[in-house]
Structure 1
Amino acid sequence: MYVDPPAPKPRGRDEVPPVPTGPLDNPQRAWAFNPDYQRLIVAWNTVMPQLDTLRTALDRAYDLARSPQTWDAPVGKRYVEDIREWRTRLAVYRHSVLTAISDEAADTPRWIPTESNAPHAFQ
């Protein structure tokens, strides 16, 4: 069983843009929450319920197929093995999709500098 990678964090209610830390940073720079990062949050939130629905459906079918009341023939064993393989494939697929989103979010800055709303002298 795989452990889900960390999800991209949505913008907090009290979260503020970065503060200039060094003498070379422009203290009047305006920042915006990165729309690419927001798209990754939306992608994660869209994919998770769908993957959970698929997993729940396969788990329920697997539990029913394993029950001795469901099957009384050798074909039942093959059916259970098929469902087990589908569950494994779904787990691998889930891990790869969520890892791709998580890795992309780790490489994407949450805040980006913008020129709008930035004060400029001599406009």
Structure 2
Amino acid sequence: MVRVEKRRGDELYINDGAYGALFDAAHVGWRFPTTLLREPESEVRDMPFSFYGPTCDDMDHMAGPFLLPADVHAGDYIEIGMLGAYGCAMRTGFNGFTAGESVIVADEPMASVYVAAEPVAVPSNVIKL
């Protein structure tokens, strides 16, 4: 989860970036799924955003597009899904920005929408190890 520090048009300045958990978004160009975390939920149509990280380094840019409600603003929190293990493993302390607070989230992973609801029947002639 990241916090929006500033908004300028379709650019969001967030508290994590290319030298943090979003290495792949900046340097590989991956477009991770994003969700605005706000109560009550926004009912405004989504629009594409790009992100800028906190380091004041020109490589700390994530082009996206990352789809979020058009009314996102400073102080909002965004969940960035499917970062995986490399989201933590690639973090650095570049330019004085170190790993932030760890938060454990107990909801279903985004990838769980692809899991079959019922177990698949295995034919009797198949050996399971």
Q: Sort the TM-score into its range (normalised by shorter chain).
A: under 0.3
The TM-score normalised by the length of structure 2 is 0.21
Mark the structure with the bigger radius of gyration. 1
Relative to total residues, which structure has the larger helix share, 1 or 2?
Answer: 1
The TM-score normalised by the length of structure 1 is 0.21
